[in-house]
Amino acid sequence: MTQKLFLSLFSIFLFLNGYAKNREIMPLDKEWLFQKKDITEPIQIYTSWDTVNIPHDWAINGPFDLNQDMQFVQVIEDGDKEAKLRTGRTGALPATGMGQYRKELFLPVEKSTQRVYIEFDGVMSNAKIYLNGEYIGERPYGYSSFSFDLTDHFKFGKKNILDVTVENKPEMSRFYTGAGIYRPVRLICTSPIHVAHWGTFICTPEISTKKGSVSIKTNINAFTEKKGKIKLITEIYDPSGKCVSSVSSSKDIMSTLLFEQNCTVKKPALWDTEHPHLYTAVSKVYFNGEQTDIYKTTFGFRTIKFDKDKGFFLNEKATKIKGVCLHHDLGPLGAAVNLRATERQLEIMKEMGCNAIRTSHNPPSIELLELCDKMGLMVQVEAFDEWKNGKCVNGYNTLFDKWAEKDLTDLIRRDRNHPCVIMWSIGNELREQDQKEGGQIARFLSDIVHREDPTRPSTAGYNNHIGAIINGLADAVDLVGFNYKHYDYQTQHENHPEYILYGSETSSAVSSRGVYKFPVKDNWTPWYNDYQISSYDMDYVPWGSAPDTEFEKQDDNEFLLGEFVWTGFDYLGEPSPYGEGAPSRSSYFGIVDLAGLKKDRYYLYQSQWSNKPVLHVMPHWTWPDRLGQEVPIQCYTNYPEVELFVNGKSMGTKRKDKSQKFLRYRMRWDNIIYQPGEIKIIAKNEKGEPCEERIIKTAGNPDKIYLKADRDTLLANGKDLSFITVEIQDKEGNLCPRDASLLFVKVNGNGKLKALCNGDATDLIPFTSNYMRVFNGKMVIIVESKDKTGEINIEVSGERLKTSFYKLTCQQ
């Protein structure tokens, strides 16, 4: 008998005996019906259904159209004195409108003694749920996770029709939201006596090298008339899977029960950013001796301390927060959450030396938190971008009064066991900062945080920091986040020595990958008529600063906890400074572009944040239009000394210079006259000995298409991804750094072309097209696996270029 057959007979046996040891978790990810429609009630007669998989974002296929989100609006945060025409603000994609999803559900008659729940991780937005035409419930905030008990409405042994209607109103966000059921959905079938939804809360109140104490609160639901005893055994498993502690308690049955248990673990392996050790608590529920549920919770042992003078401590070790803000969209994949795409973003950030993520400005996907737990990235989970006073006509302000308490409570209950979460943000740049009632709302939300999780601080990001101080918003939170107040940290620290301060949002430097503008200058009002921005990393928005400015403040002020840079990746929407009738539809703020390709700025952060040796030189060296003119050269490095050679001639050795604004964190050779050939930098150690070098040569004509995948082997699960970087190279293999060839992409075999992205914020070709121009010589092809094993063949062609072929393998 195969193991599979044995297991299914075993589960039938369990059901015949009236109990199930394990809850069944059924992902509802395949073959949903979907249609866009224009009424809010579910339509019973279906004419134009598409079949889609969940997670699904109906807007990401495009087409881009600047009319779609054109709006006349005053963005106070950007300094607008009056309403202006804005374009591309939410990505110029068709996210607005209504949609309906439908799925057939079936459970056999034998399960009619069980409880049935449906869980949604996030539906954008105004989701209404119906089962067999009957209204079940709704959840307006598109970022909230929620669950409904379907048991009393479910027809066991028959076909059930689940309908989900969605409505995205115009002007509901300042950035791209995505559209539809963009996060996973699952059906859960449990015994009547089971651990409730998000039913455990695990803390580690005392940790020493010898032992760690664990406090476990568990909520049990008991849907039974029978009398008897419920026993809960909680077992703790260490990172290697060994059971290292357990605790057992019993109570007389009641419909809901709260168990509070404590146990200790000897010599716990701590969770930190280098060694993110994870433990698992397994809750086993018994009723009158029969096991009725098993439920697992991942947690970790770590301490966090926030000191007003000494900054942040992780496990008693002083640790500066080197964080980035991330929006929830995955660039060309839209908002539809994908595990691998999220993991890739975090890998790229981690490699830069980043140790923390701020989920600006909304609850993240569960996938992101699970990955941060595993990879060792700390997280600030943020709840809201607005409270009662809207930034957008149909924004969260329309929901605040009715839903804020529930949305925030649910967020914390969902996420409070993750060791990666270190603080809860109750909001970003609230308009209430300059209003008297602001302090009261901040206290209301901060109290919810403390009630639901006494182990972590509340915080918020204040851009009108003086208003927030005067109106009591700053006093209401445990950690006072300043957005773009690098110039005022010291003064406010002196005026309010009790505040624990940090940069909740910093820099907002802007750049386009591979673009360099002349003359090179410190520029707080960047605007160029090709709608691109210089990568010399001295361009930033009027309220922002160059990365160097914030580094300086962080380095010179021990009291600051650290910073969250705006942003790690480019994102859809908010194309500042080109948001007013320009072709742009995505941001320029990213340290990494929308395709996931590194901009020069990446290496500036890496040189400051990581302890790996970093040596990076810019710009490229192909300037036929600048013969005999100045092309300044800059280097990002953490080596003490670097010598530059242009066509073999030394241009001098440089060290960083603390006394000057753009010399403390970078090395510069400003007066270099361009001649074709090569530039070479040699990094030297303290003794002046050469350690590493980089050479950039002037490129010849485009000749070939070079392809390199981040992973050559994919899982045959229909959702794994390979990101293939494309480079246009000359005959010698040099990148053609200004090339814009149009490429055509074919994918055959056991994978499909998921998206193309070149990182150019002005490109209005849909990501799901099979052709696209490279941007400054590069783009990324995203290939998705199918369910079958075998080869995936990729062919990329372009005029006057040799066609390239690439092979991926899809395996179990």
Q: Which stretches does DSSP call E strand in 429-500?
A: 458-462, 479-483
Complex with ligand GAL: residue 522 or 678, whichever CB lies closer? 522
Q: Rank residues 190 and 362 by Cβ distance to ligand GAL and give the closer one.
A: 362
Class of residue 370 by CB neighbours under 10 A (exposed 0-12, middle 13-18, buried 19+): middle
- Tell the residue number behind the tokens 């182990």, with chain if given: 455
Return the SS3 of 35: strand
Nearest distance in Å: CB 508, ligand GAL: 4
Q: Nearest approach, Cβ of 78 to ligand GAL (angstroms)? A: 7
What's the half-sphere exposure (Cβ side, CA atoms, 13 Å) at 563?
Answer: 29
CB of 587 to ligand GAL, least distance (A): 8
383 vs 683, which CB is nearer to ligand GAL? 383
Least distance CB 450 / ligand GAL (angstroms): 24
If the CB atoms of residues 368 and 796 are measured against ligand GAL, the closer one turns out to be 368
According to DSSP, the β-strands at 243-252 and 256-266 are unpaired
Nearer to ligand GAL, 541 or 604 (CB): 541
Helix axis angle for 438-452 and 400-415, nearest 10°, is 30
Please state the closest distance from residue 464 (CB atom) to ligand GAL, in A.
10
579: tokens are 């948001």
Cα distance between residue 29 and residue 512, in whole Å: 36
Please say whether the beta carbons of 499 and 478 come within 8 A. no
Two tokens, residue 622: 């192909």
383, 424 contact by CB (below 8 A): yes
Dihedral pair phi/psi, residue 58, rounded to 5°: -70, -15
Cβ 162 vs Cβ 190: under 8 Å: no
CB within 8 A of 744, min separation 6: which ones?
770, 771, 796, 797, 798
Q: What crossing angle do the helices spanning 547-556 and 601-609 adopt, rounded to 10°? A: 10
**Beta-strand pair 479-483/458-462:** parallel
Which tokens is 581 given?
Answer: 């009738």
- Determine the residue type at 156: F
Residue 562, CA distances (Å) to 324, 360, 597 in order: 11, 16, 25
Closest contact distance (angstroms) between CB of 75 and ligand GAL is 8
Q: How far apart are the first and last CA of the chain?
A: 22
* Residue number, 238 or 386, with CB nearest to ligand GAL: 386
Active site residues: 429, 505
Task: Give the shortest CB-327-to-ligand GAL separation in angstroms.
Answer: 8
Q: Find how far residue 756's CA is from the centre of its chain.
A: 20
* Shortest Å, Cβ 173 to ligand GAL: 10
Nearer to ligand GAL, 301 or 489 (CB): 489
In the complex, least distance from residue 575 CB atom to ligand GAL, rounded to whole angstroms: 11
User: In angstroms, rounded to a whole number, what is the distance separating the alpha carbons of residues 325 and 544?
Assistant: 14
Cis peptide, bond prior to residue 577, ω within 30 of zero: yes
Count of all residues that appear for the chain in the document: 812
Residue 652 CA to residue 644 CA, distance in Å, equals: 6
Which residue stretches of 119-196 are H helix? none
Alpha helices by DSSP H, 74-166: none
Please identify, using beta-carbon distances, which residue of 163 and 505 lies nearer to ligand GAL. 505
Q: How far is CA 716 from CA 345, 454, 707, in A?
A: 21, 43, 22
Q: Helices H, strands E: what count in the chain?
A: 10, 46
**Short-list 186, 160, 41, 40, CA closest to 103:** 160
Residue number, nearest CB to ligand GAL: 508
User: 370 or 522, CB closer to ligand GAL?
Assistant: 522
Q: Give the Cα separation of 246 and 347 in Å (integer).
A: 35
**Residue 566 Cβ, how far from ligand GAL at the closest point, in Å?**
5
Within 10 angstroms of residue 519's Cβ, the number of other Cβ atoms is 9
Residue 466: CB minimum distance to ligand GAL, A: 16
Query: Which of residues 214 and 354 has its CB atom nearest to ligand GAL in the complex?
Result: 354
Q: Specify the amino acid at residue 727.
A: E
CB nearer ligand GAL, residue 429 or residue 432? 429
Between residues 7 and 393, which has the closer beta carbon with respect to ligand GAL? 393
Q: Residue 618 in 3-state DSSP?
A: strand
**Do residues 472 and 481 touch, judged by C-beta distance below 8 A?**
no
**Looking at this protein, which amino acid is placed at residue 683?**
A
Site residues, ligand GAL (CB under 6 A): 77, 360-361, 428-429, 463, 483, 505, 508, 541, 544, 566, 574
